[in-house]
Amino acid sequence: MATRGKRKKVRKSAKRRRKSPFFIRFLKYLLILLIIASIPLAIYTVHVSSMVTEKFEGKRWAVPARVYARSLELYSGAPVTSERLRAELEMLGYREDPQADRTGTWTINGNRLFVNSRPFRFWDGEEPPRSLDVRFRDDRVESLRERRSGKEIDLVRFEPLEIGSIYPSHNEDRIILGYKQIPTLLEQTLLAIEDRRFYSHAGVDPRGTLRALFNTLFKGRTEGGSTITQQLVKNLYLTRERRIKRKLREAHIALILEYHYSKQEILSAYANEIYLGQDGNRGIHGFGLASDFFFGVPVNELEVEQIALLVGMIKAPSDYNPRRHPEKAMERRNLVLDILGKQGVISESLANAAKQRPLGVVARKKRSGGGRYPAFMDLVKRQLDRDYQAEDLNSEGLRIFTTMDPWVQNTAEANVVERLTELEKQRRLPQGKLEVGAVIATPLDGEVLAVIGGREAAYEGFNRALDATRQIGSLVKPAVYLAALQEPWKYALTTPLEDRELVLQSGSGKRWSPQNYDKKEHGLVPLERALAKSYNLATVRLGLDVGIDKVISTLHALGMSEQPQELPSLLLGALNMTPLEVAQIYQSIASGGYRAPLRAIREVMNHEGKPLQRYPLTVKRTIPEGPVYLVTKAMQEVVNAGTATYLKSALPPSLNLAGKTGTTDNLRDSWFAGFSGNYVTVVWVGRDDNKSAGLTGSSGALRVWADIMKPLKPEALGLIQPETIELAMVDPATGMLAGSGCADPVSMPFLKGYTPLEVSQCDGDPIQEMFADGWTGTGGYRDAQGHPDFENNRRDNTGGGRKEPSDSKEGGLGGFLRSIFQ
């Protein structure tokens, strides 16, 4: 009985204890409710979190791949002038200094240049810093010595010029700033104007939010109130809408970001992502790009008022665009300067002084943000795209060493515009209409030295060198003649060709009647001259006789990648190619038949300095040396006596340049492709709208070609006579061997075993002589299949007179003439 009472007492007191005030119970229930509600929120956060971090990481502007030009090498005998060396040093940022005792300085004394080279880690080793004494003579380096000791140095390699940076995986050009590269003043300004409590809040700033809310609701002002983090979220993840839902999402993601990443990471992401303007269809994101775009300087060179303007633009980049609305921009900038002064970021006096300064915005440069040589960089990017998987190149700190020669590139760029303007005046073309595309490469290895995408070389626009597909016209002819010269039993340089009109009829009944440029017929012309003078009629007849399929095979061997139709018009160049593709073809000829794929990259190195990938020097012999030698000789005649004689006066004739002019229908395209000992250069001139420019290859592209090549001081084209070639003295009128009666015989090259058999005494009627003895052309050594052997020294084994091969096509002059009379 007593225990029950006690229990009752206990229960009563327990009951009394448990009876808590109402509001505490309310809170308890609220808490339970919140916890229950937070579960879906937690799940949602998990889901969003991974997306957020993935995107942040993906955009995490890893240090881009740095792209370098080729480095300048100096050695005794190097074809480098003192001017060129100085130009290169200037590009590399070396300073002229009479003392010239510190790394990165140089000084000149007559023909002697002293320079202290910087060290550089190449893919194949370290190049140490050196103090050099370089002496020049006759456009070459005469000697190279160590300055102090006077000891001779064999070879020196300067550090390569950095020409740009790219993100290999997405090929954008950006000027990305790491946190350390953000100037302090810029950071302080950002904080002062956009988010004062950046470093203390957790992503969302309650004070700021409330204030913005207050202003929006009660003062009718729509204000941001967003933290830097929130703005980053807006730029990165969301669209620019002003809705409550967006704001909530923004805040949510901001919190997540702040949880995962440091303030510095967030700030630098912001500094790289913030939208500051528009350049055509390219958005200007980030201060790195903006400072280049608006002020033409890198971000670390910005003045205080420039920083103020850029930060001021964040609020409304189009409204405060300093080029479009300079007054508003100025007002906004000065407001920012005021705030900076008041907050003590800068002194009041500096703020006042800065307010007086002009905006300082430079004229809008038509220039890409990340590179001085957009046309060449374009080729680099395409080759990277072609040859690499994106994931191969995603590592940070890659270094890409290219084949570009900055001196060649600059020289070419500088010498193009003047001529185009002059041509426009001469031809009374509207100004600015004439465009150009050009490629310069080294014959021996196909390395691309320079790419000219258009007359405004620094403009990242349509890259004519890589993308302007145009009819090549007469540029195709060397391939036709090369195909013919590979049949030496029929054709030699001296073979007379018939330059006579002809009419071709296609299967559908369409008639084609080609004409020479001068609308004349020239009768019998030696093969070499027909190419030199670019006679259409002789070429078409030749090509038809050889066979269009063989011409196409030859074009493939030279590096053409198209599969054109076998139409006679192909023989006159009704074939579309870009300057780069043409350059490939002419490289194969210039190298003596050793095709080397044109390439812009030498090597890719990772951040540890380890070679990631190499493009080895690659050649492939695709045409026998003998015929290539012969067609090159003919191409030298183009310059010597044909359509490019202008070069003999524009450049030293001793260069023995070889080339070919190209003109198309209605003078729409003007081409010249030619080579010296060390350069193969292709130039196209024309109009983008494909209207006639009124220029032939000779009057247009040839001039530009000469302007480009002359200052490069090219080496002479010294042809090496192959073993499969022998010389013979011939009568220039008939192409037959010169007999004792001939006064002016000419030494001509022939494929071994295929020199003319018949002898001319240069005294009778040339035509009659050619008919006598049934002269049918050349003969030579034949293998079991009847194929000519270009490789051996064996003499004629065809016995007696010369037989044509079993397909009984009548070749040579006799065949031509007989065909007339049939």
Partner 1 sequence: MKIRGLFLTGLAAVFLAGCVGTTTRSGPPAPVYNRGMPGGTGAQVSAVEEPQLETGEGQAYDPDAIDTSVPDAPTRAPRAEVAISGPAGTEPVTGQQIAYASTAAASSSQPMGNAASSLLEKAENQRRSGDLDGAASTLERAVRIESRHPLPWNRLAQIRLQQQNYSLAAELASKSNALAGSDSSLKRSNYLIIADAKRASGDAAGARVAQSRADSMR
State both tokens at 163: 């020409």
C-beta closer to partner 1: residue 518 or 562 = 562
Distance in Å, CB of 468 to partner 1, minimum: 13
Considering only 10, 42, 390, 567, the residue that binds partner 1 (CB under 8 A) is 42
Q: Is residue 264 a contact point for partner 1 (CB under 8 A)?
A: no
Considering only 14, 26, 30, 57, the residue that binds partner 1 (CB under 8 A) is 57
Checking DSSP bridges between strand 282-285 and strand 399-402, what pairing results, if any? Answer: unpaired
Residues 431-490 that bind partner 1 (CB under 8 A): 442, 444-445, 466, 486
Q: Is residue 559 a contact point for partner 1 (CB under 8 A)?
A: yes
Beta strands in 534-617 (DSSP E): 576-577, 594-595, 601-605, 611-614
Distance CA 574, CA 561 (A): 15
Q: In what order do the strands lie in the sheet with 448-452?
A: 448-452, 434-441, 680-687, 669-675, 658-663
Residues 621-680 that bind partner 1 (CB under 8 A): 621-625, 678
Q: Is residue 319 a contact point for partner 1 (CB under 8 A)?
A: no
Q: Nearest to residue 514, comparing CAs of 491, 464, 564, 480?
A: 480
Distance in Å, CB of 270 to partner 1, minimum: 17
Considering only 10, 14, 31, 567, the residue that binds partner 1 (CB under 8 A) is 31
Checking DSSP bridges between strand 448-452 and strand 434-441, what pairing results, if any? Answer: antiparallel
C-beta closer to partner 1: residue 523 or 609 = 609
User: Residue 814, exposed/middle/buried by CB under 10 A (0-12, 13-18, 19+)?
Assistant: middle
Sequence letter at residue 16: R
Considering only 181, 215, 235, 613, the residue that binds partner 1 (CB under 8 A) is 613
Residues 118-137 that bind partner 1 (CB under 8 A): 123-125
Distance CA 663, CA 573 (A): 9
Sign of CA dihedral 355, 358, 364, 367: negative
Q: What count of other Cβ atoms lies within 10 Å of the Cβ of residue 297?
A: 14
Radius of gyration for the alpha carbons in the chain, expressed in angstroms and rounded: 37
C-beta closer to partner 1: residue 388 or 646 = 388
Sign of CA dihedral 324, 327, 331, 336: positive
Q: Is residue 580 a contact point for partner 1 (CB under 8 A)?
A: yes
Beta-bridge partner residues of 440: 450, 681
Residues 718-777 that bind partner 1 (CB under 8 A): 718, 720, 722
Distance in Å, CB of 395 to partner 1, minimum: 3
> Distance of CA 198 to CAs 97, 336, 435, 436, Å?
46, 18, 52, 52
Distance in Å, CB of 654 to partner 1, minimum: 17
Q: Nearest to residue 297, comparing CAs of 281, 312, 313, 309?
A: 309
Distance in Å, CB of 625 to partner 1, minimum: 6
Task: Map residue 421 onto helix, strand or coil.
Answer: helix
Q: Is residue 509 a contact point for partner 1 (CB under 8 A)?
A: no
Distance in Å, CB of 34 to partner 1, minimum: 8
* DSSP character at residue 202: S
Determine the interface stretch with partner 1 among 509-517, 535-543, 643-651, 787-795 (rule: CB under 8 A). 787-795
Distance in Å, CB of 382 to partner 1, minimum: 5
Considering only 45, 215, 264, 656, the residue that binds partner 1 (CB under 8 A) is 45
Q: Is residue 421 a contact point for partner 1 (CB under 8 A)?
A: no
> Distance of CA 94 to CAs 120, 165, 241, 297, 579, Å?
14, 21, 50, 19, 35
Considering only 616, 774, 799, 800, the residue that binds partner 1 (CB under 8 A) is 616
Distance in Å, CB of 577 to partner 1, minimum: 9
Considering only 269, 612, 742, 762, the residue that binds partner 1 (CB under 8 A) is 612
C-beta closer to partner 1: residue 291 or 578 = 578
Sequence letter at residue 437: G
Residues 217-256 that bind partner 1 (CB under 8 A): 256
Residues 390-409 that bind partner 1 (CB under 8 A): 392, 394-396
Q: Is residue 204 a contact point for partner 1 (CB under 8 A)?
A: no
Q: What count of other Cβ atoms lies within 10 Å of the Cβ of residue 494?
A: 24
C-beta closer to partner 1: residue 39 or 743 = 39
Distance CA 240, CA 570 (A): 56
C-beta closer to partner 1: residue 36 or 503 = 36
Q: Which of 117, 474, 591, 699 is catalytic?
A: 474
* DSSP character at residue 292: I
* Whether residue 506 lies in the annotated active site: no
Determine the interface stretch with partner 1 among 10-18, 72-80, 367-375, 520-528 (rule: CB under 8 A). 72-80
Sequence letter at residue 562: E
Determine the interface stretch with partner 1 among 3-11, 298-306, 378-386, 728-736 (rule: CB under 8 A). 378-386
Q: Is residue 358 a contact point for partner 1 (CB under 8 A)?
A: no
* DSSP character at residue 106: E
Distance in Å, CB of 265 to partner 1, minimum: 8
Residues 152-181 that bind partner 1 (CB under 8 A): 152, 154-155
Q: Is residue 33 a contact point for partner 1 (CB under 8 A)?
A: no
Determine the interface stretch with partner 1 among 25-33, 666-674, 679-687, 794-802 (rule: CB under 8 A). 25-33
How many CA within 13 A on the CB side of residue 80?
27
Beta-bridge partner residues of 444: none
* Whether residue 194 lies in the annotated active site: yes
Distance in Å, CB of 31 to partner 1, minimum: 6
Q: Which of 187, 194, 447, 528 is catalytic?
A: 194
In sequence order, what are the residues at sequence separation of 6 or more whose Cβ sits closer than 8 angstroms to the Cβ of residue 5?
Answer: none
Q: Is residue 584 a contact point for partner 1 (CB under 8 A)?
A: yes
Site string for partner 1, 589-608 (x = CB under 8 A): ---x-xxxxxx------x-x
Contact 449, 599 (CB under 8 A): no
C-beta closer to partner 1: residue 76 or 692 = 76
C-beta closer to partner 1: residue 71 or 209 = 71
Q: Is residue 139 a contact point for partner 1 (CB under 8 A)?
A: no
Q: Nearest to residue 592, comparing CAs of 706, 660, 677?
A: 677
Counting every residue written for the chain, the total comes to 822
Q: What count of other Cβ atoms lies within 10 Å of the Cβ of residue 319?
A: 12
Contact 631, 589 (CB under 8 A): yes
Distance CA 575, CA 408 (A): 29
- Cα torsion at 794, 798, 800, 804 (round to 10°)? -130
Q: Is residue 83 a contact point for partner 1 (CB under 8 A)?
A: no
Distance CA 313, CA 324 (A): 12
Site string for partner 1, 789-808 (x = CB under 8 A): xxx-----------------
Contact 787, 764 (CB under 8 A): no
Q: Is residue 491 a contact point for partner 1 (CB under 8 A)?
A: no
Q: Is residue 357 a contact point for partner 1 (CB under 8 A)?
A: no
Determine the interface stretch with partner 1 among 45-53, 85-93, 692-700, 756-764 (rule: CB under 8 A). 45-53
Residues contacting partner 1: total by CB under 8 A? 94
Q: Is residue 24 a contact point for partner 1 (CB under 8 A)?
A: no
C-beta closer to partner 1: residue 46 or 772 = 46
Q: At residue 283, what are phi and psi to the nearest 5 degrees?
A: -80, 140
The DSSP line for 292-361 is IIIISS-GGG--HHHHHHHHHHTT-TTTT-TTT-HHHHHHHHHHHHHHHHHHTSS-HHHHHHHHHS---P
Considering only 77, 283, 741, 786, the residue that binds partner 1 (CB under 8 A) is 77
Distance in Å, CB of 250 to partner 1, minimum: 17
Distance in Å, CB of 304 to partner 1, minimum: 34
Beta-bridge partner residues of 399: 66, 605
> Active-site residue numbers?
194, 474
